[in-house]
Amino acid sequence: MKTKENKTKEFDAVGFMRQMRDKISNDIADLSKEEIVEYFKKNRPKERIMPCA
């Protein structure tokens, strides 16, 4: 039975997602509902990356 070789990842998607989630959580922790809505309106990416079908 073959085993996978240990490869170092160039980009850790799960780690990046957790880091960004924690940053956003800290940014909006003390904001009101209206301020949170404005935060996400202001910080929305200009272009969205859509998965290929």
What does the pLDDT look like over 13-49, one tens digit per residue? Answer: 899 999 999 999 999 999 999 999 999 999 887 787 7
pTM of the model: 0.62
Domain coordinates in residue numbering, the chain: 13-42
Query: Residue 33: what are its φ and ψ, rounded to 5°?
Result: -60, -45
Please determine, for residue 53, whether its predicted confidence score (pLDDT) is greater than 70: no
* Cα–Cα distance, 31 to 36 (Å, whole number): 6
* Cα–Cα distance, 13 to 21 (Å, whole number): 12
